[in-house]
Amino acid sequence: MTTLGVIGLGRIGAFHTETLSNLDGLDGLVITDERTDVARAVAAKYGATSVDTVAELLSSGVDGVVVAAATPAHAELVLAAVERGIPTFCEKPIASTAVESARVAQAILASGVPVQVGYQRRYDAAFAAAKRAVDDGSVGTIHTVRSTTMDPAPRRWTTSRVRAASSATVPCTTSTSSTGSPGSAPCRCMPRASSRATRCSPSTATSTPRP
């Protein structure tokens, strides 16, 4: 029997709950959010079980957990799951700062518990098509990639440095997506809060402000 958990039921957490509820072979789905009324509503919609706290969810016997809470909570939620030996999928970013990310990564490596961070954009149809064009040689040799990310009508939290950490998340997402198409290893990322444009070369990436 397989039971999974979802922590955080905003837009993305609700998407994960819907997706997981449709998986074949899933025997149980336990979800939680600090807004208990939201958790109960989502649970009723997708046939899940809602609990009031993260501690309850992690102690419920789940075989894996999705962390989809707000960015500032990611690090401690991942560490809490890892301490209990629970395989974890965490929405990006895994933490709000490079120092905190390194601390979490070290704890994960020491634990041996599987943890994945959701950098899925390189698998989107447009990026997959770009990779095919590179692989078959139709675009020639790639020397530099410039990629601009534009989201429609962002919600207020997405532009918050504290809640979304978008000044780090967006350039890194763009960088790993762009390098996935040329086929090189993910490049270094140097984000600037004023920009969502990222320039990548085989070994470096720099974010450049938009006019």
pLDDT digits (tens, 9 = 90+) for 173-205: 555 555 555 555 444 444 444 444 444 444 443
Count CB atoms within 10 A of the CB of residue 43.
22
Q: How do beta strands 2-7 and 64-67 pair?
A: parallel
The pLDDT of residue 146? 74
What is the CA angle 148-156-20, rounded to 5? Answer: 80
Say how far apart CA 207 and CA 174 lie, in whole Å. Answer: 10
Domain boundaries, the chain: 2-117, 121-207
- The two counts, helices (H) then strands (E), for the chain are 7, 9
Q: 34 Cβ partners below 8 Å, 6+ apart? A: none
Cβ contact 3:63 at 8 Å: yes
Q: Check pLDDT > 70 for residue 159.
A: no
The pLDDT of residue 177? 54
- Homologous superfamily of domain range 2-117: NAD(P)-binding Rossmann-like Domain (3.40.50.720)
Q: Check pLDDT > 70 for residue 142.
A: yes
> Residue 71: helix, strand or coil by DSSP?
helix
Q: Check pLDDT > 80 for residue 55.
A: yes
Q: Check pLDDT > 60 for residue 82.
A: yes
pTM more than 0.75: no
Task: Give 120's pLDDT tier (boundaries 50, 70, 90).
Answer: confident
The pLDDT of residue 173? 52
Q: Check pLDDT > 80 for residue 147.
A: no
The pLDDT of residue 47? 97
Q: Check pLDDT > 60 for residue 94.
A: yes
Of the candidates 200, 144, 152, 194, which has an alpha carbon nearest to the alpha carbon of residue 172?
200
Q: How do beta strands 49-51 and 2-7 pair?
A: unpaired
Cβ contact 200:185 at 8 Å: no
Phi and psi angles of residue 116, each rounded to the nearest 5 degrees, phi first: -125, 140
